[in-house]
């Protein structure tokens, strides 16, 4: 499969290798999202320690089959605590998944082989087992006091398939 590098830069390197998060255009920024939807999972924070744990409880707007937001343009109006990722947010958030392209670029690392910008296939993130597809429960079906019953560790892990070419 031919590699898709997105908009090329002057030296023919893909933009995510040569631009900082702040230098990216809006189109480049949006294309950096791999569509895994891990960031759409509800997280719990221990008020005493600050430790954050993941749940399999997904935002009400997440379409579990496509791993896309049902109302992306209006998501922050519908879900007030939805965090709109910006370069500032990416640099300050500690809970971004290890596989998150924004985190990888922030850390000066390259994208994984399954990222759609590398593979040329939007479904490769699902085929590699990175996305939340089929692994979530909608928040509309879980009482907030029951979130602790839905704590999971897989969103903070990088599956072994991440390293396979």
C-alpha 42/C-alpha 111 separation (Å) is: 25
**Are residues 155 and 38 in contact, defined by beta-carbon separation less than 8 angstroms?**
yes
Distance of CA 91 to the CA centre of its chain: 14
Task: Give ∠ CA 22-25-29 in degrees, rounded to 5.
Answer: 75
CA atoms within 13 A on the CB side of 102: 26
- pLDDT at residue 162 in the model: 56
What torsion do the CA atoms of 10, 118, 102, 56 make, to the nearest 10 degrees?
170
**In this structure, are residues 54 and 156 in contact, taking their beta carbons and an 8 Å threshold?**
yes
- Could you tell me where the DSSP H helices lie in the chain? 15-18, 26-32, 75-78, 87-92, 101-106, 116-119, 124-127
Q: How far apart are CA 80 and CA 147, in angstroms?
A: 19
Q: Note the pLDDT tens digit of each residue in 82-114.
A: 998 999 999 999 899 999 999 999 999 999 999
pTM of the model: 0.85
DSSP string, 53-97: EEEEEEPTTEETTTTEETTGGGHHHHSTT-----HHHHHH-S-S-
For residue 55, name the pLDDT band (cuts at 50, 70, 90): very high
Please give the Cα distance from 69 to 5 (Å, whole number). Answer: 24
Query: Please, which pLDDT band fits residue 1 given cuts at 50, 70 and 90?
Result: very low
């Amino acid at each position: 499969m031919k590699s898709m590098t997105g908009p090329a830069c002057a030296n023919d390197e893909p933009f995510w290798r040569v631009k900082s998060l702040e230098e990216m255009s809006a189109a480049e920024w949006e294309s950096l999202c791999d569509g895994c939807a891990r960031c759409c999972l509800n997280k719990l924070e221990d008020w005493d320690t600050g430790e954050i744990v993941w749940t399999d409880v997904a935002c009400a707007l997440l379409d579990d089959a496509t791993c896309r937001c049902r109302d992306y343009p209006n998501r922050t109006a519908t879900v007030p605590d939805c965090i709109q990722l910006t370069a500032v947010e990416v640099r300050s958030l500690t809970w971004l998944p290890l596989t998150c392209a924004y985190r990888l670029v922030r850390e000066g690392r390259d994208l994984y082989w399954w990222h759609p910008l590398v593979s040329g296939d939007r479904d490769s993130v699902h085929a590699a087992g990175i996305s939340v597809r089929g692994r979530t429960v909608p928040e509309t079906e879980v009482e907030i006091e029951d979130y602790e019953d839905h704590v999971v560790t897989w969103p903070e892990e990088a599956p072994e398939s991440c390293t396979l070419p």
